[in-house]
Amino acid sequence: MTDTEYPPISEQLDDLESAREEGRRKMDWAAQHMPICEHVREEFVAEQPFAGERIGMAMHVEAKTAILVETLAEGGAEVAVTGCNPLSTHDDVSAALDTHENITSYAKRGVDDEEYYAAIEAVIAHEPTITVDDGMDLVAAIHEDYPELIDGIVGGAEETTTGVHRLRAMDADGALEYPVFAVNDTPMKRLFDNVHGTGESSLASIAMTTNLSWAGKNVVVAGYGYCGKGVAKKASGQNANVIVTEVEPRRALEAHMEGYEVMPMAEAAEVGDVFLTTTGNRDVIVEEHFEEMKDGVLLANAGHFDIEIDLEALDDLAVDRYEARDGVEAYELADGRKLNVIAEGRLVNLAAPVSLGHPVEVMDQSFGIQAVCVREMLENGDEYDAGVHDVPDELDKEIAEIKLEAEGVDFDSLTDTQHDYMDSWDHGT
Ligand code: RBV
């Protein structure tokens, strides 16, 4: 057992009762729009697939995530959870979760680096048999500091692009010592959460934070992966003029063929009104770009970590810095231009004060996949070696079918003749 003094959220809040009540109210609202999680929860309650297991989680602790946490707990697991970003936790939801007899929540909004990692250690102190991560901080901490726990870990699941990227790098180095499902990469996650979820929630958060319009703006989207595609499409739908920057030639071409302007960041910097990074890489907007920007631009990041916009360089350039609005920091440069950074350059759809994360419906899909991945790991863990694993296609389809049924959408099935045709090769003109 590892030592930890970091207290659960219930020991950190003053008005615990009202926080719990409000958190529960948010969760009830989310649950009403999460038919997939409801479906799996009913199955888990009946079958108790996680009895005796301990699940450690580091995720954005807000209402939808809380429904996933409860779903796992009601399947018999003891769950310890903390945040995966210092600004994305809703303390009231964290407090509501912490009342559940099978759940301990350490998540708190506004923690510093030290508290953030102390809370991760507190989760690890529960000696998880399964880990569920968003960004891989839990897997990293276990491998680096508590390798003795690895033997007792059946496996894990990872929610996001950046986490899967880190895991694959770790796997390539031969350093990943237990199996982890790449939840991010499965169609029921990536085609919806990354595209529609990031697109809608990033734009909504920026609009609510600034009270400014998209119409007629030059919106620079850095990165045309799944998240960038969603942001570009939705910004275009709000009558913005979308400019895409890319480093990958086929994606640059894809964006061009979609009708967006494609240009290097050095050129986009001169014309953009709003800049939104979605690359997952560091140093995407740096000093040479700040030098060229127009007065009053908005800078925001939708990638998992706050490394895409070089805020240190911006701070060095600035002669003054102040909070222009809740969630907006204005950096004033020597020539009088002001560059406005939203949510400290942290992922804007979760970290701005008004942010609520992705819409409920897409998180129901992502978390439905998470839930069945945990079930799969416990039922068939022996089949998965240490390393990164794709989500089995049958599980992805299972979740799609539950969702379609909940939406009342019927669809076709192949006939036997069609099956035979698709499986054969000896037919032509
Ligand atoms: N994400 N979670 C939420 N709980 O409101 N919103 C987005 C929420 C996840 C999403 O799946 C993405 O992959 C990850 O956050 C980035 O950290």
- Residue from 67, 134, 137 to probe ligand 1 pocket by mutation (most atoms less than 8 Å from CB): 134
Q: How far, in Å, from the CA of 60 to the mean position of ligand 1?
A: 7
Nearest by Cα to 141 from 157, 161, 162, 125: 125
Smallest CA separation from ligand 1 atom 13, residue: 160
Split at pLDDT 50, 70, 90, the class of 3 is low
8 A C-beta contact, residue 232 and residue 198:
no
Residue 157 pLDDT > 90, yes or no?
Answer: yes
**Angle in degrees, CA 145, 98, 345, rounded to 5:** 60
Split at pLDDT 50, 70, 90, the class of 270 is very high
Q: How far, in Å, from the CA of 59 to the mean position of ligand 1?
A: 8
- Residue from 34, 60, 67 to probe ligand 1 pocket by mutation (most atoms less than 8 Å from CB): 60
Q: What secondary structure, in 3-state letters, does 134-195 show? A: CCCHHHHHHHHHCHHHHHHCCEEEECCHHHHHHHHHHHHCCCCCCEEEEHHHCHHHHHHHHH
Q: Is 126 in the pocket of ligand 1 (CB under 6 A)?
A: no
Q: Which residues are annotated as a binding site for substrate?
A: 134, 159, 189, 193
User: Which percentage of the chain shows pLDDT scores above 90?
Assistant: 98
- Residue from 358, 360, 364 to probe ligand 1 pocket by mutation (most atoms less than 8 Å from CB): 358
Q: Residues 88-135: pLDDT tens digits?
A: 999 999 999 999 999 999 999 999 999 999 999 999 999 999 999 999
Measure the CA–CA gap between 110 and 90, rounded to whole angstroms.
10
| Sheet with 130-133, side-by-side order of all strands | 103-105, 78-82, 54-58, 130-133, 155-158, 179-182, 387-389
pLDDT of residue 1: 41
- Residue from 70, 90, 277, 363 to probe ligand 1 pocket by mutation (most atoms less than 8 Å from CB): 363
Measure the CA–CA gap between 329 and 347, rounded to whole angstroms.
15
* Residue recorded with tokens 């909940």: 406
Smallest CA separation from ligand 1 atom 5, residue: 357
Smallest CA separation from ligand 1 atom 17, residue: 304
- What does pTM read for this prediction? 0.96
Q: Is 134 in the pocket of ligand 1 (CB under 6 A)?
A: yes
Q: How far, in Å, from the CA of 162 to the mean position of ligand 1?
A: 11
Mean per-residue pLDDT of the chain: 97
Domains and CATH numbers, the chain: 9-189+358-407 (3.40.50.1480), 195-351 (3.40.50.720)
Residues with Cβ within 8 Å of 393's Cβ and at least 6 positions away in sequence, in order, are: none
pLDDT of residue 429: 84
Q: Which atom of ligand 1 is nearest the CA belonging to 159?
A: 13
Q: Is 160 in the pocket of ligand 1 (CB under 6 A)?
A: yes
Q: Which residues are annotated as a binding site?
A: 134, 159-162, 189, 193-194, 223-230, 246, 281, 302-304, 349, 358
Residue 2 pLDDT > 50, yes or no?
Answer: no
Q: Residues 165-218: pLDDT tens digits?
A: 999 999 999 999 999 999 999 999 999 999 999 999 999 999 999 999 999 999
Q: How far, in Å, from the CA of 131 to the mean position of ligand 1?
A: 16
Measure the CA–CA gap between 293 and 31, rounded to whole angstroms.
43
Q: Residues 305-354: pLDDT tens digits?
A: 999 999 999 999 999 999 999 999 999 999 999 999 999 999 999 999 99
Residue 297 pLDDT > 50, yes or no?
Answer: yes
8 A C-beta contact, residue 191 and residue 391:
no
For residues 105-137, b (16+ Cβ closer than 10 Å) or e, as one string? bbbbbebeeebbbbbbbbbbbbbbbbbbbbbbb
Nearest by Cα to 49 from 379, 303, 272, 318: 379
* Residue recorded with tokens 């350039």: 317
320-326 long-range contacts, CB within 8 A, separation 24+: 325/209, 325/210, 326/209, 326/353, 326/354
